[in-house]
Chains A and B, each alone.
Chain A
Amino acid sequence: MLYQGRLKTVLITTLLAAASLSSFAVSQQETDQEKNARRKGLDISVEVKNRDSGWGDSKADMLMILRNEQGQESVREIKIKSLEQLGDGDKSLTVFNKPKDVKGSAFLSYSHAEKADDQWLYLPSLKRVKRISSRNKSGPFMGSEFSFEDFSSFEVEKYSYKYLGNEKIAAKDFFKVEQFPVDENSGYTRRVVWIDQQEYLVHKIDYYDRKNSLLKTLTYVDYQQYSGKFWRARSMQMINHQNGKSTELIWNNYTFNNGLSEGDFNRNALKRTR
């Protein structure tokens, strides 16, 4: 699995390098400096992906805490299962436990890098699975400040890159990389990502909206290592600078390589979640 992951990223790197060469031919103005920034940004991002490949599948419990400017809070309780996919976005199954009136609702998503995700929702009150056809990638997940695209797995081919430089925060060295979404339905013009130079973990992301104003900042807090390999943050804090709202995710009970299969991520699996 790990080997396959590497192979995939090598392939992508080659493709992207070729693409960048051809675009170089078109835009003569690109300087060597710009080319280097693009290549280094890509290299760092590929390394991020490589170091987090091979986890196969995962299970976790998530608490989602929504806060508004007034300080009012609301807590949602969710279980998430994910299945690592090679050559495409991951599959995930989300089961809602709280609020009580949506308990048992389940959401199945096959995320894709460049086209709309496939999504199904099971509503226990209707006892039916509904496929949702929507371009909601940029829309909020469960009314939170996280959008679907913020949740979905990081894939190298989702962005083009620009290395911005190094930054030292609290005696730790970070790469600063700018990422430009490829999908035109993305809600962002760009994201600026801080990646620590030791473990290649994302520590902070600034999101810029479609008119290129700073919209949100996501901070990863308290990284823990699981199975001796995979780092996951215990808490993710998203602050929306424009509306003053924020959402915190608190993750518990991470397990990896539970032996889940494709059969656990299809329409029938949705109804079996209880």
Chain B
Amino acid sequence: MIDKFFGFAARHPVWVILAFLAFTILAASGAQKLVFKSDYRIFFDESNPQLTAYESMQKIYSKSDNVTFIVVPKEGDVFTREHLAGLKKLTKASWQIPYSTRVNSLTNFQYTYAEEDDLIVEDLVMDAQNLSASDISRIKQAAVNEPQLVNKIVSASGHVSVVDVSVKLPGLDPAAEVPQVAGYVRKLKDDFIAQNPGSQVYLSGMVMLNNAFAESSLEDGSTLVPAMFLIVVITIGFLLRTISGTFATVLVVVMSIAGAMGLAGWMGFFLSGASASAPTIILTLAVADCIHILASMFYEMRHGADKASAIQKSLKINLQPVFLTSITTAIGFLSMNFSEIPPYRDLGNIVAMGAMLAFIFSITIFPALLSVLPIRVKVQAEGKKNNMARLADLVITKRRLLLPVISVCVIVLAVFIPKNEINDDFVKYFDSSVPFRSATDYMQENLSGLTLLELSVKSGRAGGINDPQFLKTVDQFSDWLRGQKETDHVNTLTDVLKRLNKNMHGDDPAWYKLPETQEMAAQYLLLYEMSLPYGLDLNTQLNVDKSSTKLIATFKNLTSSQQIELGERLEAWFKSNAPQYELDTASPSFMFAHIGQKSIVSSLVGTVAALIVISIILGFALKSWRYGLISLLPNLLPAAVAFGIWALINGQIGMSLSMVIGMTLGIVVDDTVHFLSKYLHARRNNNSDAADAVHYAFAHVGGALWITTLVLVAGFTVLAQSSFKLNGDMGMLTAITILAALIIDFLFLPPLLIALDNMKNRKAAHSSDAVELPAPSQPTL
């Protein structure tokens, strides 16, 4: 059947080309249905407990996405007439930022004080242009002594301050909303600097973080990713020295990617940070498939075959291993459907489709193209040894050295794997050339970090937040929080109540304490609530029936595991100090920390499991449990080596790195399958001994494996240059893994196969030394 089809394809290549092009265009047209979603919600199932908890907190209070202007005055003093006037103007202008709901700054802080029986509630800075020296010193005293402001809005020394804007994105079109806010904010920044020469403004906050993610991905997507594809194309052309072959390969790559993404579009998938890496993975698979077929065909042609029969021969010998690689890779990726994170399921399904498409294209349209396009290969002189044959000689003669040396290297590196820390630090995803990173570093050094936790304390009954016992607990909790080493700032209702109590008693500092009765606290709050202007009310701190209050704690920049540990510490405090109240912890960064940990673990475990499943399938396909078991080593060891090396050079495994095993799965399996199947072919069909079989494998797939590896390592090294670590680190570790896979397949697997076969032979026949003879250097065909 298959021979018939190949025969047809060989006779009517143009029809095959047209038919598959038409199919691909039809499939690819589904790609226009693909939407990119950057919303964190897609990382969760609807029923995910953390998502529901977080969303309910967002509904009870207000959402806390923000943009932060970090404003550095030119003289290093915030408290000058000129600078305060500038801040006031910036504060007012910030209300115009799209989707803004609240602006907090030094100038619009609601300052309360008593004047006889009057309670005055007003902006801390009123008429900035006409402030007297004594006004300014009063403002400074009030600001640097106000717990709500100091280290959050203004530094203790008064050399830098912040305008913090709360933004509630509607979330209808996140891809457009975030850049819209960022664009507006940048314009405000430029205006401010133009009007206040000498001062400096940095931009940070969650919205700017999201924007930096989007911009960096976009920038890499428009520069480095195309450069990577280009390098792949050039390297193929350079190594294979064929324009037609390169063109056909690129076409298969493009068709596989377009087809898979298009089918995903038809099936109603959407793109996300995770599934967006599908094209790169499909690239590696399609490149490998094509190069195997090309390399075998060239091998035949170099040995004198004409083009048509070389193509037929190449297809015949590659069909099984290419199919086996593709089907196992597809199954491996389909196993991602067990992931509890939806985007990873999508990624798995898209790549599985891509793997099968790449397989179909590389045995149909690819040979059809090759037969139509002009290809010339120099016939190799008889007896001339090529590099692969020399490498095979070397590996066989030095095998007694290679096996232990490589084993020791692998074991030593594997020992370092546990030194890796599963962790994400979103700020550090950007290197210091990215403005967001330098802004956030500056803010961290001078004011506070970017990590926020929203802590909702529930009293369990309506009006319960005014209960003196409850207030005392919240106050103690706030004090304890302020004592934690990573805490920069705590915003708590109890500070407001203490200040109001003082105001109600003629501003007597002795009354800076919590009100003593439920009624008094409730009535102070009523008074305060009734006197706040638009956007500066208590809705962000209280729920509707006043049964719970929300504290906002700001911390130094924390990694995901530090955040999770901090969250546990908060829970522990509540359990031992206030078991009668309930604490809910949430925030965007806290959420990301949890998803991050979860997705990293699930993707690592998932792909390792997939590799084991693949080895089992290989055992069936190769009709040998023994070789299935052996295939575990070259399948698993590259990742072990790569992560061992990573522990030594970096040691932090974030979400993007957890993708690397998946990213390289196809290529690693490809190496194993091709090498093993050629080795077995020689052993079984040609009756070769182990050393001969190794020679045969090197001669037939060594070149293809070498080229595939070089091509992809070159490509991923380009990606490793990104200033966006999400791509940069991923590119680097992928390159390391692919290289490690080749080294293991070339230098470790052959000595291992020979050693195991010798052991078997010794057991079987007690006859030895057969393989000690120098192996013939020419493959038998």
Chain A positions within 8 Å of B, measured between CB atoms, are 66-70, 72-74, 96, 99-102, 105, 107, 119, 121, 123-126, 128-143, 147, 185, 187, 210-211, 213, 242-245
Instruction: Name the B residues within 8 Å of A135 (CB-CB).
Output: 122, 533
Is B529 touching A129 in the complex (CB atoms < 8 A)?
no
* Cα–Cα, bound, A123→B503 (Å): 14
B87-128 toward A: CB 8 Å interface, digit per residue (1/0)? 000000001111111000000000000010111111000000
Contacts known (A141-B530, A243-B168); A101 close to B118, Cβ less than 8 A: no
Top 9 A-B pairs, shortest CB-CB distance: A101-B522, A138-B534, A69-B59, A74-B545, A187-B534, A134-B531, A70-B59, A134-B121, A74-B544
6 A-B pairs, CB-CB below 8 angstroms? A128-B504, A131-B117, A138-B534, A143-B539, A187-B535, A243-B539
| Least CB separation from B92: chain A residue | A210
Instruction: Name the B residues within 8 Å of A100 (CB-CB).
Output: 463
Is B168 touching A242 in the complex (CB atoms < 8 A)?
yes
* Cα–Cα, bound, A102→B262 (Å): 63
Is A211 touching B98 in the complex (CB atoms < 8 A)?
yes
Instruction: Name the B residues within 8 Å of A102 (CB-CB).
Output: 519, 522-523, 526
Contacts known (A68-B60, A143-B544, A210-B96); A132 close to B117, Cβ less than 8 A: no
Is A210 touching B95 in the complex (CB atoms < 8 A)?
yes
* Cα–Cα, bound, A123→B539 (Å): 22
Instruction: Name the A residues within 8 Å of B543 (CB-CB).
Output: 68, 72
CB distance from B471 to the nearest CB of A (A): 12
Contacts known (A73-B544, A139-B533, A140-B529); A128 close to B523, Cβ less than 8 A: no
Instruction: Name the A residues within 8 Å of B520 (CB-CB).
Output: 125-126
Q: Which residue of A96, A101, A107, A133 is within 8 Å of B518 (Cβ)? A: A101
Is A126 touching B95 in the complex (CB atoms < 8 A)?
no
Q: Which residue of B101, B115, B531 is within 8 Å of A243 (Cβ)? A: B101
B562 at the interface (CB under 8 A from A): no
Instruction: Name the B residues within 8 Å of A187 (CB-CB).
Output: 533-535
Is B530 touching A136 in the complex (CB atoms < 8 A)?
yes
Is B531 touching A74 in the complex (CB atoms < 8 A)?
no
CB distance from A107 to the nearest CB of B (A): 7
B580-624 toward A: CB 8 Å interface, digit per residue (1/0)? 000000000000000000000000000000000000000000000
Contacts known (A74-B462, A74-B546); A132 close to B527, Cβ less than 8 A: yes
Which bracket fits the contact residues of B? 35 or more
Q: Which residue of A69, A125, A185 is within 8 Å of B519 (Cβ)? A: A125
Is A70 touching B119 in the complex (CB atoms < 8 A)?
no
| Least CB separation from B540: chain A residue | A243
| Least CB separation from A137: chain B residue | B533
B537 at the interface (CB under 8 A from A): yes
B536 at the interface (CB under 8 A from A): yes
| Least CB separation from A132: chain B residue | B531
CB distance from B19 to the nearest CB of A (A): 53
CB distance from B528 to the nearest CB of A (A): 10
Is A139 touching B531 in the complex (CB atoms < 8 A)?
yes
B517 at the interface (CB under 8 A from A): yes
CB distance from A53 to the nearest CB of B (A): 28
* Cα–Cα, bound, A213→B180 (Å): 15
Chain B positions within 8 Å of A, measured between CB atoms, are 56, 58-60, 62, 95-101, 115, 117-122, 168, 462-463, 466, 504, 517-524, 526-527, 529-539, 542-546
* Cα–Cα, bound, A125→B500 (Å): 14
Is B463 touching A101 in the complex (CB atoms < 8 A)?
yes
Q: Which residue of A105, A131, A138 is within 8 Å of B118 (Cβ)? A: A131
* Cα–Cα, bound, A68→B59 (Å): 7
Instruction: Name the B residues within 8 Å of A129 (CB-CB).
Output: 117
Q: Which residue of A96, A101, A244 is within 8 Å of B59 (Cβ)? A: A244
Is B533 touching A125 in the complex (CB atoms < 8 A)?
no
* Cα–Cα, bound, A7→B184 (Å): 49
* Cα–Cα, bound, A72→B337 (Å): 37
Instruction: Name the A residues within 8 Å of B60 (CB-CB).
Output: 68-70, 72
* Cα–Cα, bound, A80→B120 (Å): 25
Instruction: Name the A residues within 8 Å of B168 (CB-CB).
Output: 242-243
Instruction: Name the A residues within 8 Å of B538 (CB-CB).
Output: 143
* Cα–Cα, bound, A113→B522 (Å): 30
Instruction: Name the A residues within 8 Å of B526 (CB-CB).
Output: 96, 102, 105, 121, 123, 142
* Cα–Cα, bound, A101→B471 (Å): 15
| Least CB separation from A99: chain B residue | B463
Q: Which residue of B462, B504, B518, B539 is within 8 Å of A140 (Cβ)? A: B539
Contacts known (A68-B60, A211-B97); A136 close to B119, Cβ less than 8 A: no
Is A132 touching B100 in the complex (CB atoms < 8 A)?
no
* Cα–Cα, bound, A183→B97 (Å): 22
Is A121 touching B533 in the complex (CB atoms < 8 A)?
no
Is A72 touching B545 in the complex (CB atoms < 8 A)?
yes
Instruction: Name the A residues within 8 Å of B545 (CB-CB).
Output: 66, 72-74
* Cα–Cα, bound, A135→B117 (Å): 18
* Cα–Cα, bound, A123→B544 (Å): 21
Interface centre among A121, A130, A210, A245 (most CB of B within 10 A): A130
Is A136 touching B527 in the complex (CB atoms < 8 A)?
no
Instruction: Name the B residues within 8 Å of A137 (CB-CB).
Output: 533
* Cα–Cα, bound, A143→B539 (Å): 7
Interface centre among B60, B97, B534 (most CB of A within 10 A): B534
* Cα–Cα, bound, A102→B466 (Å): 11
Is A66 touching B531 in the complex (CB atoms < 8 A)?
no
Is B121 touching A125 in the complex (CB atoms < 8 A)?
no
* Cα–Cα, bound, A194→B544 (Å): 30
Q: Which residue of B95, B121, B462, B544 is within 8 Å of A133 (Cβ)? A: B121
| Least CB separation from B517: chain A residue | A125
Instruction: Name the A residues within 8 Å of B504 (CB-CB).
Output: 126, 128, 130
| Least CB separation from B62: chain A residue | A243
* Cα–Cα, bound, A271→B100 (Å): 41
* Cα–Cα, bound, A6→B98 (Å): 43
* Cα–Cα, bound, A187→B532 (Å): 12
Is B530 touching A125 in the complex (CB atoms < 8 A)?
no
Instruction: Name the B residues within 8 Å of A130 (CB-CB).
Output: 117-119, 504, 527
* Cα–Cα, bound, A66→B58 (Å): 16
CB distance from B613 to the nearest CB of A (A): 43
* Cα–Cα, bound, A83→B529 (Å): 24
Is B466 touching A101 in the complex (CB atoms < 8 A)?
yes
CB distance from A76 to the nearest CB of B (A): 10
Q: Which residue of A123, A134, A141, A243 is within 8 Å of B122 (Cβ)? A: A134
* Cα–Cα, bound, A148→B115 (Å): 24
CB distance from B91 to the nearest CB of A (A): 12
Instruction: Name the A residues within 8 Å of B98 (CB-CB).
Output: 211, 213
CB distance from B128 to the nearest CB of A (A): 16
* Cα–Cα, bound, A245→B540 (Å): 12
| Least CB separation from A141: chain B residue | B530
Instruction: Name the A residues within 8 Å of B531 (CB-CB).
Output: 119, 132, 134, 136, 139
Is B532 touching A139 in the complex (CB atoms < 8 A)?
yes
Instruction: Name the B residues within 8 Å of A147 (CB-CB).
Output: 534
